[in-house]
Amino acid sequence: MRFQAPRGTFDVLPDQQPYWRHLIGRLHHLAALYGFQQIDVPVFEEVELFARSIGEATDIVEKEMYIVGGKEGDSFALRPEFTAGTVRAYIEHGMHVWPQPVRLYSIGPAFRRERPQKGRYRQFHQFNAEIIGEQDPLADLEVMSLAWDLYEDLGFKGLSFQLNSTGDPKCKPVYVKALVAYYQDHLGEVCDDCRRRIQVNPLRVLDCKRDQCQPVIAQAPRITDYLCDECAEHFAALRQMLDDLGRPYTLNHRLVRGLDYYTRTVFEVWAEEGLGAQNAVCGGGRYDGLAELLGGPPTPGVGFAAGLERIILTMQDQGIAVPPLPSPAVFVAHAGADGRRASVGLLTELRRAGIPAVSAYGDRSLKAQMRQASRAAVTYTLILGDEELASDSVTVRDMNTGTQERVPRRELVQRLKSSLK
Ligand code: HAM
């Protein structure tokens, strides 16, 4: 029997790690620049938390959650996203008494049982950022700017910001009613899925990708024509600030997002090439009703999440280089039983001095060890044999020039340290 990584998951092999290390480093740096504090929430939470937050009639809750059973008969879901858990933590730890707003970010895996394809996995990673406790459209601008800076910092080209407002509990239902009424007149023209969606989760008809539904969507009423005064004002203020900053965006009337907690602002960033159908590198928006829905005090919030796999795929597609990870600087080769014994102490000393070092195992010939050293791409190979032990020295081979010299043992570490600097 041969085991394989489960469908929709993959191993991140050492050659891919430089991308992850670089990206995660930049994420921590940017989050700090924007005044966000890190929070880690559990990988699993009560099923009901996600059902309530994301919505019973969404694809995520209906079809995509991984449910794990507890011994006591309780059941949990692997987190499909971070917003629900973060707002749960905000309420649970009484963060409403902290200085507001609270800016929180997380980096970690999330799980959705989706049909895997390029850029879409069952285990994926998100950078998630939330500003909780603030309704000023400036907070919306801040999270959008953070996303913007992230892609700029990484050197992305050809991204587009998609923006819409989905109203609030006052105006959204009026719009939904108008949308449903419009679809009643066009049921014969749309796909089976849309005929179902218009009953259970009407806004989702707007992001149907089927050709037959496109003319119906194009003529559908637009939510921005139904916004109440407060929502219209909020949206206008945000757009004004984006214009003032010279940050271009596309007003996308069809952008509704697949999670029910959104109110007012919703946005996505799309990569124009490389990812194919899964082109959203991040998505987010405002969720002013969520804390209350989860039993907390009424608290506005806004945030976004970026998919790290999609960012890395786009980086690779756009040929964005990342710094290599340091490899061992030194290889310790040894000859004879005494040399081998002495190599253990030398390795320990090198590592204590902060010099990354590896050595050969077993009793390979010196020639075989030298081949190993050159494959390990080290800068120096140190040779410990009978002659070196007798003269209390070490032979140091510079692997770039091929030159060798005998260095007294007591000077070795200091000399290596300064030449490796
Ligand atoms: P989302 O749009 O469901 O939003 O996910 C955000 C991002 O996660 C997507 O744009 C995509 O880059 C990545 N992503 C989602 N599903 C997958 C998948 N199966 N494979 C690979 N990448 C994926 C949320 O999760 C919201 N919680 C965002 C948010 C935070 N809204 C407010 N605050």
Tell me the per-residue pLDDT of 72-101, one tens digit each, with 9 for 90 and over. 778 899 999 999 999 999 999 999 999 999
CA of 282 from ligand 1 middle (Å) equals: 6
Residue 81, ligand 1, Cβ within 6 A: yes
Residue minimizing CA distance to atom 11 of ligand 1: 307
One-letter-per-residue 3-state SS of the chain: CCCCCCCCCCCCCHHHHHHHHHHHHHHHHHHHHCCCEECCCCCEEEHHHHHHHHCCCCHHHHHHCCEEECCCCCEEEECCCCHHHHHHHHHHCCHHHCCCCEEEEEEEEEECCCCCECCECCEEEEEEEEEECCCCHHHHHHHHHHHHHHHHHHCCCCEEEEEEECCCCCCHHHHHHHHHHHHHCCHHHCCHHHHHHHHHCHHHHHHCCCHHHHHHHHHCCCHHHCCCHHHHHHHHHHHHHHHHCCCCCEECCCCCCCCCCCEEEEEEEEECCCCCCCCEEEEEEECCCHHHHCCCCCCCEEEEEEEHHHHHHHHHHCCCCCCCCCCCCEEEEECHHHHHHHHHHHHHHHHHCCCCEEECCCCCCHHHHHHHHHHCCCCEEEEECHHHHHCCEEEEEECCCCCEEEEEHHHHHHHHHHHHC
Task: Flag whether pLDDT at 275 surpasses 90.
Answer: no
CA of 60 from ligand 1 middle (Å) equals: 11
Task: Flag whether pLDDT at 379 surpasses 90.
Answer: yes
Average model confidence (pLDDT) for the chain?
Answer: 95
pTM above 0.85, yes or no: yes
Task: Flag whether pLDDT at 273 surpasses 80.
Answer: no
CA of 130 from ligand 1 middle (Å) equals: 13
Q: What percent of the chain has pLDDT over 90?
A: 90
CA of 28 from ligand 1 middle (Å) equals: 19
Q: What is the pLDDT of residues 128-175, one digit of tens each?
A: 999 999 999 999 999 999 999 999 999 998 889 999 999 999 999 999
Q: What is the mean pLDDT of residues 10-32?
A: 97
pLDDT score at 326: 85
Give the position, in ligand 1's atom list, of the atom nearest the Cα of 80. 25
Q: What is the pLDDT of residues 312-331, one digit of tens each?
A: 999 999 999 999 998 899 99
